[in-house]
Amino acid sequence: MKAYTTKNIRNVVLIGAPRSGKTTLSEAMLYEGKVIDRRGSVEDKNTVSDNTEFEQTNQKSINATPLYAEFNGCKINFIDAPGSDDFSGGALSAFKVVEAAVMVMNGSAGIEVGTTLFARYADQYGIPMVIAVNQLDHDKANWDGVKNAIAEEFGKKAVICQFPVNPGLGLEGFVDVITMKFYNKKNEELEIPAAYADEAEELRAELMEKAAEGSDELMEKFFETMELSTDEIREGLRAGLVKGETIPVFCTAAKENVGVKRLMEFIVNVIPSPEGKQEATVDGGSVKCDPAGPVSLFIFKTSVEQHLGDVSYFKVMSGTLNEGADLVNPETGNGERLSAIYAVAGSKKEKVSSIAAGDIGCVMKLKAGKYNTTLTVAGQEAIKHMVFPDAKYRCAVKALDKNDEAKVGDALNKIAAQDPTIGVEYSKELRQTILTGMGEQHINYVKWRVTNEFKLQIELYAPKVPYRETITKIATAQYRHKKQSGGAGQFGEVHLLVCPYVEGQEAPKNFKIDGKDVIFNFKSQDITDLEWGGKLEFYNCVVGGSIDLSFMPAILKGIKSKMEEGPLTGSYARDIRVYVYDGKMHPVDSKEIAFIIAGRNAFKEAFRQAGPKILEPIYNVDIITPNEYVGPCMSDLNTRRGMIMNQDMDKGFTVLHARVPLAELYRYSTILSSLTGGSATFQMKFAEYVQVPAEVQTKLLAEYAAQEQEED
């Protein structure tokens, strides 16, 4: 393929609901761009994107596939993104490297769940949007219904640029009110039929008015002449698009290749090139998309592909990248050589000698070519990382064959390295491998990959909850460790007091022990911010040398070891003050291990007498739902011990803000989808730890006791 300059590059992502026809539109664009000479179909499982076994079997996009077409002297890079929110990571990654999104809508269904979700994502990430109403040749196509739904959903931003003639099985073509021409099913440009001339004139007047809003100059000319040229309309649409104030609406029937060429012409004529675009860097600077600038590229997607191995997909943010370039990762200082670079259209990779700023390509087998990686010439800054929503689904995973545990861990980490919305972590606290993702479908896909690609059998199950333990009262305890076994003995005795740690409260010094008032004087102290949250404050208040100062670290070590396995349920303990005020030692037998054991057991005994409580993690949960499902959502939250804090509106949707215990959120994404027909979504973020209700604590204690009995 020929080399393209930055000004002749266009980058877009195809988004929309499942089965809106994004993959079919991709095939048609590839065909128009002469990348392929025969269009495949989803039904025949031979499309360029959706080329994995799972995608073909399920006839749905799972991965975001970078593609390109050469058209009218330009290179159009377009990314076919999945339509399910469970796999939204692909679209969100694409947002980093495109200048606009094409929202593909089903001409029969109109505004669907995916339409709303991905329109909201595009708005959140500041991505301009064009609508392509697809499948207008379907027997249930309903242009008027879809047009009205678009107006209701997007308001005055939406502007009709085309309308179909006889939508449905008898689709004849469409009228384009930018060019004021009729395009038939053969893509021939003809005069507008007389029966549609008035409608075309009316829509063109609305189009010119909307385009005039793009700049003061256009507005002034429009008021003077009530007319804009075709080029001026394009100029105005581009300005409105960039500002997020205009959403042009087009018509396609991609399966029959109707309207695809005109959509691509619009992309070339109106969608801005990446030239001059400023990309933020991690330290607050920016990189300008300039082909003459220093070379800088950003990896937005990684995958492992059959016969190729590791493939890293990138956008050149600045400069002109030549094959054989030696670049450096500015965040690690490690170098990489890009021995060969490729233009990419799905599984088709074409070797090229150079790629200009703003263009998209790929490279194989980098040493460290993971997504969110910048490679640049020395002295340049790293591009700001992509940010993804927090996981919505959490489960535990284990190998069915214990001998495969290491292999399963390796497989999961390889999958997570390719998908920024997958998380894998072994929890030392829970003694489980925790797998997180965007939903149950997402997690089930991970399981499918482990089973089919890595040939390993795994089980997914409900994860444990990371509870915490703390105390609510003051208590004292003492413990003597004495061991004689023929050789050197062990001896250590510790007397200590525990009380709750309260943020912002000065450590008290006055206590009553055995009915006597005692004032502690601190000889030394150790304040620890615990890695699992909360604090431990440790005070040495020993007088008279009953315990040598050198044994204090051993006592603290014993206490910390017990805090890692709380006395109630084995969960981490937190927010405790410990005062060691007395004890005994032996001139020969006292040693570190003795005081570790004595400190651990004295703490355990005091903890049990100090009004111990179990704390549970509470999450802030924001549910975005159509108004008609507010009641069912609120009722369901009540069954989950959720507390609704408030609610507000967001673009016609109700947003419920609630606080919900993590213990009640297992499979919540699946339940919410069932409750609302898939039309609601949610986000969850850790808020704080709070005490569990008494009945829940009783249940947890009983479960832990039963578990310990089983292990014994």
How large is the angle between the packed helices 405-416 and 440-452, nearest 10 degrees? 120
Pairing of strands 535-540, 335-338: unpaired
Q: What does the DSSP 8-state code read for residue 501?
A: -
Residue type (1 letter), 171: L
- Which residue, 431, 464, 497, sits at the end of a domain? 464
- Within a domain: 702: no
Count, residues in the chain: 712
pTM, entire model: 0.87
- Within a domain: 701: no
* CATH code where residue 26 lies: 3.40.50.300
Q: Beta strands of 240-384 (E only): which ranges?
A: 247-251, 278-280, 286-288, 296-305, 309-318, 320-322, 325-328, 335-338, 341-345, 348-352, 354-356, 360-364, 373-376
Q: Identify whether residues 292 and 217 lie together within a single domain.
A: no
- CA 527 – CA 509 distance, rounded (Å): 16
As given in the structure block, the two tokens for residue 250 are: 């087009």
pLDDT at 707: 80
- CA 32 – CA 42 distance, rounded (Å): 18
pLDDT at 116: 87
Per DSSP, the three-state class of 366 is: coil
Q: Identify whether residues 180 and 203 lie together within a single domain.
A: yes
Q: What mean pLDDT value characterizes the chain?
A: 93
Q: Identify whether residues 456 and 603 lie together within a single domain.
A: no
* CATH code where residue 544 lies: 3.30.230.10
* CATH code where residue 332 lies: 2.40.30.10
pLDDT of 9 above 80: yes
pLDDT at 103: 97
Q: Identify whether residues 206 and 295 lie together within a single domain.
A: no
3-state DSSP of 631-645: HHHHHHHHHCCCEEE
- Among 400, 173, 129, 402, smallest CA distance to 270 is for 129
Are the C-beta atoms of 427 and 434 separated by less than 8 Å? yes
Are the C-beta atoms of 131 and 250 separated by less than 8 Å? yes
Exposure string (b/e) for 489-520, b if CB count within 10 Å is 16 or more?
ebbbbbbbbbbbbeeeeeeeeebeeeeeeeeb
Residues 391-442: pLDDT tens digits? Answer: 999 999 999 999 999 999 999 999 999 999 999 999 988 999 999 999 999 9
Q: Identify whether residues 207 and 246 lie together within a single domain.
A: yes
Q: Identify whether residues 356 and 422 lie together within a single domain.
A: no
Task: Report which secondary-structure segment, H or E, holds 446.
Answer: helix 440-452
How large is the angle between the packed helices 260-270 and 22-32, nearest 10 degrees? 80
Query: Which residues are within 8 A (CB) of 193 and not within 5 positions of it... i.e. 6 or more apart?
Result: 165, 182
Domain count, the chain: 5
Share of the chain above pLDDT 70, in %: 99
- Bigger pLDDT: 58 vs 162: 162
Query: Which residues are within 8 A (CB) of 121 and not within 5 positions of it... i.e. 6 or more apart?
Result: 15, 88, 91, 92, 95
- Which residue, 445, 464, 483, sits at the end of a domain? 464
Exposure string (b/e) for 578-615, b if CB count within 10 Å is 16 or more?
bbbbbbbbeeebbbbebbbbbbbbbbbbbbeebebbbb
How many angstroms separate the Cα of 302 from the Cα of each of 299, 310, 419?
8, 7, 8
- Within a domain: 705: no
Angle at 147 between CA 142 and CA 148, to 5 degrees: 105
- Within a domain: 324: yes
Confidence bin at 2 (pLDDT 50/70/90): confident
- Within a domain: 170: yes
- CA 234 – CA 159 distance, rounded (Å): 13
Residue type (1 letter), 644: I
Pairing of strands 572-573, 189-190: unpaired
User: Taking the alpha carbons of 670, 676, 678, 679 in that order, is the dihedral positive or negative?
Assistant: negative
Pairing of strands 100-106, 129-134: parallel
pLDDT at 117: 87
Residues 506-549: pLDDT tens digits? Answer: 999 999 999 999 999 999 999 999 999 999 999 999 998 899 99
Pairing of strands 490-500, 475-483: antiparallel
- Within a domain: 700: no
- CA 112 – CA 92 distance, rounded (Å): 19
Q: Identify whether residues 370 and 296 lie together within a single domain.
A: yes
pLDDT of 351 above 60: yes
Pairing of strands 653-661, 524-529: unpaired
Q: What does the DSSP 8-state code read for residue 308?
A: T
As given in the structure block, the two tokens for residue 453 are: 């690609």
pLDDT at 486: 64
Residues 314-327: pLDDT tens digits? Answer: 999 999 999 999 99
Q: Identify whether residues 315 and 218 lie together within a single domain.
A: no
Q: How large is the C-alpha radius of gyration of the chain?
A: 32
Share of the chain above pLDDT 90, in %: 83
- Which residue, 235, 250, 270, sits at the end of a domain? 270
Residues 589-633: pLDDT tens digits? Answer: 889 999 999 999 999 999 999 999 999 999 999 999 989 999 999
- Within a domain: 351: yes
Residues 131-189: pLDDT tens digits? Answer: 999 999 999 999 999 999 999 999 999 999 999 999 999 999 999 999 999 999 998 99
pLDDT at 711: 66
pLDDT at 1: 78
As given in the structure block, the two tokens for residue 657 are: 């803000």
- Bigger pLDDT: 60 vs 152: 152
pLDDT of 57 above 70: yes
- Within a domain: 388: no
Distance linking the first and last C-alpha atoms of the chain: 70
pLDDT at 712: 56
User: Taking the alpha carbons of 504, 509, 510, 511 in that order, is the dihedral positive or negative?
Assistant: positive
Q: Identify whether residues 85 and 225 lie together within a single domain.
A: yes
* CATH code where residue 665 lies: 3.30.70.240
- CA 33 – CA 1 distance, rounded (Å): 12
Q: Identify whether residues 607 and 618 lie together within a single domain.
A: no
Residues 660-707: pLDDT tens digits? Answer: 999 999 999 999 999 998 888 899 999 999 999 999 999 999 988 888
Residue tagged 């360029």 (tokens): 48
The parent domain of residue 344 ranges over 278-376
Residues 560-596: pLDDT tens digits? Answer: 999 998 888 889 999 999 999 999 998 888 899 999 9
Residues 18-50: pLDDT tens digits? Answer: 889 999 999 999 999 999 988 888 888 888 887
Per DSSP, the three-state class of 449 is: helix
* CATH code where residue 453 lies: 3.30.70.870
Q: Identify whether residues 574 and 487 lie together within a single domain.
A: yes
Are the C-beta atoms of 524 and 552 separated by less than 8 Å? yes
Q: Identify whether residues 208 and 304 lie together within a single domain.
A: no
